[in-house]
């Protein structure tokens, strides 16, 4: 089986790798690039844990081959913040206890990133629609919804301070 | 949960795709959005020698009106169709049914053509295309043909497309301005596969129902319309008694299968309930 040379921009950095076409984007990120922030849950598109952005749109990285994103832009949870300098969406999840075990969190965060870029002031219905495809077995979802609502507030406060 | 190996290619034009299909025949699978095919590859329900990636054929991504027909390129994503103002105005049942199609991230990549060709027995769009009398345009190295939606879909996961054919366009006639529509579905969670789905289209003239169409999904391997129920409602005054009678007749007319998620009796009940809801809502909307 032939291999493919691909070049992918991940979080602003271009990576060139030779991969088997059957390699999933989730495995490409974790095994080839050591970006293990993207979590792999079900590996058949049910749980949403592995959600990343491809050219700005949420994509389940287990339902996408790495070769398909050749030449495209991928954003993973590593593009957000770090423990000492959290992204405001991460801060909101921390404040509102939007996670317990944390396994679903990277997917929840990336869905929130896409939602708030396209709709900075979502109503509750829009939030449910955005995260509704992602499973969480700890929180019962209510704190995740509260976290997204808090992220809206934090981002708006930042926006007002900047203007 | 890892796919078996395959040879991959990404042709740049429709012509090149048709040449590749002509070359490989049954040995090739087309990859559009991949939201059904990749899980099946991951689970090794499907294995293929050649995977032909058509996901970047921008020439098949469009929604436009030509005369009274909406033409949708086969590789248009679900989200693009769902949010299209043109689609919502000309054929609102499509937009309504899309609220039951999986989740936002899946609709970001999944395509309308992919879903129609996959023909999952629980999928919404094949039923909607039958109800609205869409035509599906397929192309191959041999030429092009137009297939009525009523003849396109076979049993579960099958269509009349040959191994060398590519679905390129879906043509949806604009619905009459004052028609009524409704798409009803019951699933265990929002975005899950339908246990049963029902769609209804009709018009009301002088208080009487006309052009009645009602069809069902996941009540068996094939999508179907119930001619008996359509005939019962056709030409009658649209009142609660008639709708209740239609629900009962629908329930008596189906032989649903049992599976882990719903037994036959439960599905039959759903057919009755969703028939009543779909007809009721379509009648309310007609003329408004």
Q: Position of tokens 């209740």?
A: B244
Mean pLDDT along residues B251-270? 97
pLDDT at B188: 93
The architecture CATH gives domain B7-53: 2-Layer Sandwich (3.30)
Residue spans of the domains in chain A: they are: 4-79, 88-162
Instruction: For strands A4-10 and A73-75, give the pairing.
Output: parallel
Nearest CA among B238, B240, B241, B244 for reference residue B273: B244
Token reading at B47: 């294995």
Q: What is the pLDDT of residues A102-143, one digit of tens each?
A: 999 999 999 999 999 999 999 999 999 999 999 999 999 999
Token reading at B60: 């098949």
Question: Can you tell me the distance from the alpha carbon of A87 to that of B204, in angstroms, rounded to the nearest whole number?
Answer: 55
Token reading at A159: 């926006």
Which stretches of B95-243 are assigned E, i.e. beta strand? 135-140, 143-148, 166-173, 180-186, 196-205, 208-217, 224-225
By three-state DSSP, how is residue B239 classified? coil
Mean pLDDT along residues B246-269? 97
Q: Which of A24, A68, A129 sits opposite B53 (nearest CB)?
A: A68
Question: Can you tell me the distance from the alpha carbon of A160 to that of A51, in angstroms, rounded to the nearest whole number?
Answer: 30
Residue spans of the domains in chain B: they are: 7-53, 58-173, 180-285
Nearest CA among B66, B261, B281 for reference residue B183: B281
Contact A22 B5 (CB under 8 A): yes
Q: What is the pLDDT of residues A24-39, one digit of tens each?
A: 999 999 999 999 999 9
Tell me if B93 sits within 8 A of B128, measured CB to CB.
yes
Nearest residue in chain A measured CA to CA from B104: A130
Answer whether residue B229 shows pLDDT above 90: yes
Q: Check: CATH 3.30.413.10 for A4-79?
A: no
**Chain B touched by A133 (CB under 8 Å):** yes
**Chain B touched by A126 (CB under 8 Å):** no
CATH class of B58-173: alpha beta
Q: What is the pLDDT of residues B16-51, one digit of tens each?
A: 999 999 999 999 999 999 999 999 999 999 999 999
3.30.70.20, 3.30.930.10, 3.90.1150.10, 3.30.390.50: which CATH number matches B180-285?
A: 3.30.390.50
Task: For residue A51, give how far its alpha carbon lies from the nearest alpha carbon of chain B (Å).
Answer: 8
Residue B67 burial (10 A CB sphere; 0-12, 13-18, 19+):
exposed
Phi, psi of B28 (to 5 degrees): -120, 150
CATH class of A88-162: mainly alpha
Tell me if B93 sits within 8 A of B125, measured CB to CB.
no
Task: For residue B187, give how far its alpha carbon lies from the nearest alpha carbon of chain A (Å).
Answer: 14
Tell me if B35 sits within 8 A of B118, measured CB to CB.
no
What size, in residues, is chain B?
288
What size, in residues, is chain A?
163
Answer whether residue B99 shows pLDDT above 70: yes
Tell me if A134 sits within 8 A of A52, measured CB to CB.
no
**Chain A touched by B8 (CB under 8 Å):** yes
**H or E stretch covering B184:** strand B180-186
Task: For residue A42, give how far its alpha carbon lies from the nearest alpha carbon of chain B (Å).
Answer: 9
Return the CA Rg of chain B. 19
Confidence band (pLDDT; 50, 70, 90) for B288?
Answer: low
Q: What ipTM was assigned to the predicted interfaces of this complex?
A: 0.96
Domain B58-173 in the same topology as domain B7-53: no
Residues of chain B contacting residue A132, judged by C-beta atoms under 8 Å apart: 103-104, 190-191
């Amino acid at each position: 089986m032939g291999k493919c040379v691909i070049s992918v921009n991940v979080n602003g950095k271009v990576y060139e790798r030779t991969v088997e076409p059957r390699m999933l984007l989730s495995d490409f990120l974790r095994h080839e690039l050591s970006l293990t922030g993207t979590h792999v849950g079900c590996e058949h598109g049910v749980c949403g844990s592995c959600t990343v952005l491809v050219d700005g749109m949420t994509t389940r990285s287990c339902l996408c081959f790495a070769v398909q994103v050749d030449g495209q832009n991928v954003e993973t949870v590593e593009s957000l913040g770090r423990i000492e300098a959290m992204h405001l969406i991460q801060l909101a999840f921390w404040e509102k206890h939007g996670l317990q075990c944390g396994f679903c969190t990277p997917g929840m965060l990336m869905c929130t990133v896409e939602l708030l870029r396209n709709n900075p002031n979502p109503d509750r219905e829009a939030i449910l629609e955005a995260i509704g495809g992602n499973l969480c077995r700890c929180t019962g979802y209510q704190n995740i919804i509260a976290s997204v609502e808090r992220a809206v507030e934090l981002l708006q406060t930042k926006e007002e301070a900047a203007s | 949960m890892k796919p078996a190996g395959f040879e991959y290619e990404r042709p740049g034009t429709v012509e090149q795709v048709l040449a590749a299909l002509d070359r490989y025949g049954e040995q090739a699978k087309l990859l559009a959005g991949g939201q059904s095919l990749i899980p099946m590859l991951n689970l090794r329900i499907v294995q293929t020698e050649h995977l032909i990636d058509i996901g970047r054929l921008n020439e098949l991504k469009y929604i436009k009106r030509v005369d009274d027909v909406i033409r949708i390129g086969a590789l248009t994503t679900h989200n693009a169709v769902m949010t299209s103002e043109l689609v919502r105005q000309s054929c609102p049942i499509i937009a309504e049914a899309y609220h039951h199609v999986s989740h936002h991230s899946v609709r970001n990549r999944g395509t309308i053509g992919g879903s129609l060709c996959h023909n999952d027995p629980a999928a919404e769009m094949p039923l909607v295309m039958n109800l609205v009398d869409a035509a599906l345009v397929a192309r191959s190295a041999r030429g092009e043909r137009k297939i009525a939606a009523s003849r396109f879909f076979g049993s579960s996961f099958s269509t009349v497309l040959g191994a060398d054919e590519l679905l390129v366009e879906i043509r949806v006639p604009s619905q009459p301005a004052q028609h009524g529509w409704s798409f009803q579905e019951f699933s265990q969670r929002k975005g899950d596969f339908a246990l049963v789905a029902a769609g209804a289209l009709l018009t009301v003239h002088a208080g009487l129902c006309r052009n009645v169409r009602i069809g069902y999904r996941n009540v068996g391997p094939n999508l179907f319309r119930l001619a008996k129920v359509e005939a019962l409602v056709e030409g009658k005054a649209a009142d609660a008694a008639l709708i209740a009678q239609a629900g009962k007749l629908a329930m008596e007319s189906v032989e649903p299968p049992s599976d882990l998620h719903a037994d036959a009796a439960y599905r039959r009940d759903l057919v009755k309930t969703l028939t009543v809801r779909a007809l009721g809502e379509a009648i309310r909307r007609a003329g408004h």
